[in-house]
Structure 1
Amino acid sequence: MTNLADSPMTSDSSPVTEQPALKMEGVSVYYGSTPAVREVFLDIPTKQITAFIGPSGCGKSTVLRCFNRTNDLIPGAKVKGNVFFRGVNLYSKKVDPVEVRRRIGMVFQKPNPFPKSIYENIAFGARINGFQGNMDQLVEGSLRKAAIWDEVKDKLKDSGLSLSGGQQQRLCIARAIAIQPEVILMDEPCSALDPISTLRIEELMQELKEQYTIVIVTHNMQQASRVSDKTAFFNAEATDQGGKLGYLVEFNDTVTIFTNPKQDYTRDYVSGRFG
């Protein structure tokens, strides 16, 4: 198996402004024989926040899942094209998908803590991934990075399910951090949260991007404009089978996407004319 940690593209090999963290070349996704996304070319910059926006059914989450091969877990799903991380094609037969998901963590739309203690929510994944260091330090450090340590430090034996929705989502972010990824994918992480919790998650993302590359799917254009450095706008067209086929319309700096987009579809979407 290819070891992603030993791949030729290391964090010191070139300035981060020149080296994408993730790269898609001609990626198309099918569910069975039905195409869902067509021919995506995309470079995700290192240690920045990239937002995916677009109307429902345009393939944003499908594209996001390509980065850590969680589409593999959907029966009938098939990915064509190339996805590179640290110079390695993630869809090579030599690459272990489990290792991919350790390097590229995922935070889902609905907070999903394990039915375990707060401590074990953090320790469990690290333990099964072979962590040999000081577990107490790892748990505390991960919870601190997720800005929840002060709220839970005196109740680490309590169930993770006992926390509020916003706290549960930060616990899930801490759980993702604990396995020491390089990239964190977030699929609408604030859609089930109240405005105050949403603001805390957004502030947390700004802190985390100093250490991690973050890609977020969001339906909230205001959120995308607030938190992201780059924005990819996806749209969809109707297929002969009555479904939707997603495609990438435009990818650029977030300021450009929201103030001076190149494509009319992008301008219409960010101005609220459709979607």
Structure 2
Amino acid sequence: MVNASHPTITETVLRTKNLNVYYGSSLAVRDVSLDIPPRQIVAFIGPSGCGKSTVLRCFNRTNDLIPGARVEGKVTFHGKDLYGKGVDPVEVRRRIGMVFQKPNPFPKSIYENIAFGARINGYKGNMDELVETSLRKAAIWDEVKDKLKQSGLGLSGGQQQRLCIARAIAIEPEVILMDEPCSALDPISTLRVEELMQELKEQYTIVIVTHNMQQATRVSDYTAFYNAEATEGGNKIGYLVEYAPTEQVFNNPMEQATRDYVSGRFG
């Protein structure tokens, strides 16, 4: 049993304490405890099947949408239990936005992609202004300002992903979760999204799952390394090995497994 090493974090936006996640009767992730600080980028790294995306989805309750998924332990947002009685998962997802691996614009105009969520959430301000501000924050305004009535599906992959980031920003979250946001993108688009993350962290807390270790070193302030152990039934159980400032995880990790992973010995 590995006890993950942890950085000293004085202010916490999100926290998990002894988090276990089950899919049906199978334990998928065990005993994850970590603190996410405000306006920083935290990267989750590790081999496939170690629970990175599962833990990420716990933060905005998108695991609720998977039949049979169940969470034990504590997940808090500014100290409030996200799975407590009376907590509305839709409101959780408004405060804690999500950008997925594959860009998924709505089959609507670029303008409506941004306006739609804000409208549903009862936004009463100047919609044109919100659309422009969100697209500017996502560093895509100059590329789309003359074609706002055209379908978001007509954009390139990298532009679609930045449109999805703009859509997440438009509902004014505090946290943006990103599940391998660049895995479907070319290197130039990846660079644009990485630069964008650095700009966004001035206002938002970002948690990113990535298989790209170079990306983790380039963009994140803290890195959590997960690993998995095989069960007798052939399943995998993910667990947190080490969580520390990114520089430490990659240059001077505490755990041998972390050292082996970041040096490319497995994974």
TM-score scaled by structure 1? Answer: 0.94
CA distance in structure 1 between the partners assigned to 2:248 and 2:10 by the alignment: 19
Residue of structure 2 equivalent to 1:11 = none
Shift of 1:19: 1.3
Specify the SS of the correspondent of 2:158: helix
1:55 matches 2:47: yes
Residue of structure 1 equivalent to 2:160 = 168
1:74 matches 2:66: yes
Residue of structure 2 equivalent to 1:26 = 18
CA distance in structure 1 between the partners assigned to 2:95 and 2:170 by the alignment: 11
Letter in 2 for 1:55: P
1:103 matches 2:95: yes
Once superposed, what is the RMSD of the aligned Cα atoms? Answer: 0.5
Specify the SS of the correspondent of 2:242: strand
User: Unaligned regions of 5+ residues in structure 2, if any?
Assistant: 1-8
Shift of 1:86: 1.4
Residue of structure 2 equivalent to 1:227 = 219
Residue of structure 1 equivalent to 2:121 = 129
- Structural mapping, 1:84-163, within 5 Å: 84-163=76-155
CA distance in structure 2 between the partners assigned to 1:130 and 1:239 by the alignment: 47
CA shift digits 1:140-161 (9 cap, x unpaired): 0000000000000000000000
Specify the SS of the correspondent of 1:94: coil
Residue of structure 2 equivalent to 1:46 = 38
Letter in 2 for 1:197: S
CA distance in structure 2 between the partners assigned to 1:35 and 1:73 by the alignment: 17
CA shift digits 1:123-169 (9 cap, x unpaired): 00000011000000000000000000000000000000000000000
CA distance in structure 1 between the partners assigned to 2:59 and 2:234 by the alignment: 27
* Aligned positions, number: 259
1:216 matches 2:208: yes
Specify the SS of the correspondent of 1:177: helix
1:195 matches 2:187: yes
CA distance in structure 2 between the partners assigned to 1:241 and 1:26 by the alignment: 23
CA distance in structure 2 between the partners assigned to 1:216 and 1:172 by the alignment: 15
Moved over 6 A (4+): none
Letter in 2 for 1:162: G
CA distance in structure 2 between the partners assigned to 1:204 and 1:226 by the alignment: 12
Shift of 1:87: 1.6
Residue of structure 1 equivalent to 2:4 = none
1:204 matches 2:171: no
CA shift digits 1:34-70 (9 cap, x unpaired): 0000000000110000000000000000000000000
User: Unaligned regions of 5+ residues in structure 1, if any?
Assistant: 1-16
Specify the SS of the correspondent of 1:43: strand
Shift of 1:18: 2.2
